[in-house]
Amino acid sequence: MVKLHVVNCGTENLQVFVTSDTREETEQNFWSLYNWRATEQADPEWADQTTIVFWTGKTRLIRAFRKAAINGIYNSHSHKFEGKRGALIPAIAEKLAARRYRNCSSKPYLRQVSVSNLNCHALGTISAEKPDSDYSV
């Protein structure tokens, strides 16, 4: 079962975690989102054995969900829509994409700190001695 976790990192910036039971299933879902242009990240960034992380925008992610839904409807139910004109399939796909986005679980934003940037004492030394003064009290 594939799970999508979304971290809202500001206006239109989302960090998406694709998690599944197996590595292959996770990778297939990442490539599906990549092919529908949810991300431009050509190489999957593995957070652990079954989780891929990528960055995208909210409108871009929903647009990819909508395109995938349209493709799924055409592949599975195209015979039901033969000879019919109008925006029936895009309207259904829009609802499916919105529902898929609502089903993404939300994670809190955690700022990652690099250990190499924590060397704050490299500029000088810190001392707690009282400095000598020229006047006496």
What percent of the chain has a predicted confidence (pLDDT) above 70?
Answer: 78
Q: Is residue 129 part of a domain?
A: no
pLDDT > 70? residue 2: yes
Q: Assign 3-class secondary structure to 47-115.
A: EECCEEEEEECHHHHHHHHHHHHHHHHHHHHHHHHCCCCCCHHHHHHHHHHHHHHHCCEEECCCCCCCH
71-86 pLDDT per residue, tens: 888 888 877 777 776 6
Give the residue among 20, 1, 12, 110 at the shortest CA–CA distance from 61. 12
By the 8 A CB rule, do 3 and 20 touch? yes
| Location of structure tokens 């190489």 | 43
Q: Is residue 14 part of a domain?
A: yes
pTM (predicted TM-score): 0.73
In the chain, the number of structural domains is 1
Q: Is residue 134 part of a domain?
A: no
* Domain assignment of residue 20, given as a range: 3-111
Using DSSP, state whether 21 is helix, strand or coil.
coil
Q: Is residue 131 part of a domain?
A: no
pLDDT > 90? residue 36: yes
Give the residue among 68, 74, 75, 73 at the shortest CA–CA distance from 38. 68
Q: Is residue 21 part of a domain?
A: yes
pLDDT category at 105 given cuts 50, 70, 90 is very high
Higher-scoring residue by pLDDT: 82, 131: 82
